[in-house]
Amino acid sequence: MNLLLLEDGDFVADDRVLLTGRRLKHLQEVHRATVGDSLRVGRLNGLMGSGQLLRLDAEHAELSVLLDQPAPEKLPITLLLALPRPKMLRRVLQTVSSMGVPKLILLNSYRVEKSFWQTPFLEPAAIREQLILGLEQARDTRLPEVLIEKRFKPFVEDQLPAIAASTLGLTGHPGDFPPCPRAVEQPVTLAIGPEGGWIPFEVEKLQQAGLQPVQLGVRILRVETAVTALLARLF
């Protein structure tokens, strides 16, 4: 945890917070914090700054906080991601959050198993938990927006063209396609498929919506690796 993330309910005064649960345990067992220590803090969806530990016991940590720094800028991207398998989904959510993606759309695909949509990891509270872990890692405070689209064709035909308008639209897909561009300076709409890749019908539909297929080379990457590699290459 590189940032102690504070929520509205933690505040007992404008400059004072009380922490319990996971964050208290982290202060005790990982930070090994003591009274008087200064810690990096941030308010969820708000400013960052510093906190001084005033009290620490088995039930509470009390800090005085000064929030006077903006959160880092988000990447200018909307990321479409074919729903990964549940265990990978948690890691991908953390990666997306830590790398600064502001909007993630989890999308169906022919190669997405129906059982994946039944996972409890898609519950709003479970998604939020993983996003917060990513924010804490990266020292960010602003939660990404996560949308779920279970019907590929209606979404791609009816909504995606408007989302991709005035952006660089790309589909990450292995094959005989141009290389993914580097260090772009414009907003991007990027679609990344499941581990087996998009099927040809899906690539065609994405292309009709304004997303041109690009590749990273001959190697087939795991979804979590492809997300990191494509974001790093683009920005």
Q: Are residues 65 and 85 in the same domain?
A: no
Q: Are residues 179 and 159 in the same domain?
A: yes
pLDDT of residue 104: 98
Q: Are residues 102 and 63 in the same domain?
A: no
Q: Are residues 85 and 12 in the same domain?
A: no
Q: Are residues 45 and 140 in the same domain?
A: no
pLDDT digits (tens, 9 = 90+) for 109-127: 999 999 999 999 999 999 9
> What three-state secondary structure class fits 136?
helix
pLDDT of residue 169: 98
Residue 155 vs residues 39, 131, 189, 202, 214: alpha-carbon distances, Å: 44, 24, 14, 12, 21
Last residue of a domain, one of 36, 69, 102: 69
Last residue of a domain, one of 49, 69, 89: 69
Q: Is 9 exposed, middle or buried (0-12, 13-18, 19+ CB in 10 A)?
A: exposed
Which amino acid would we find at residue 112?
A: V
Q: Are residues 178 and 216 in the same domain?
A: yes
SS3 content of the chain, % helix, strand, coil (to 5): 35, 30, 35
State which residues form the domain around 173: 77-234
What is the reported pTM? 0.93
Domain count of the chain?
2
Q: Are residues 38 and 123 in the same domain?
A: no
pLDDT of residue 175: 85
DSSP code string of 13-37:
ETTEEEE-HHHHHHHHHTS---TT-
> What three-state secondary structure class fits 199?
coil
Answer positive or negative: Cα dihedral of 7, 10, 12, 13: negative
Last residue of a domain, one of 69, 89, 111: 69
Q: Are residues 161 and 59 in the same domain?
A: no
Q: Are residues 55 and 93 in the same domain?
A: no
Low-confidence ranges of the chain (pLDDT < 50): none
Evaluate whether 2 touches 139 at the Cβ level (below 8 Å). yes
Q: Are residues 10 and 125 in the same domain?
A: no
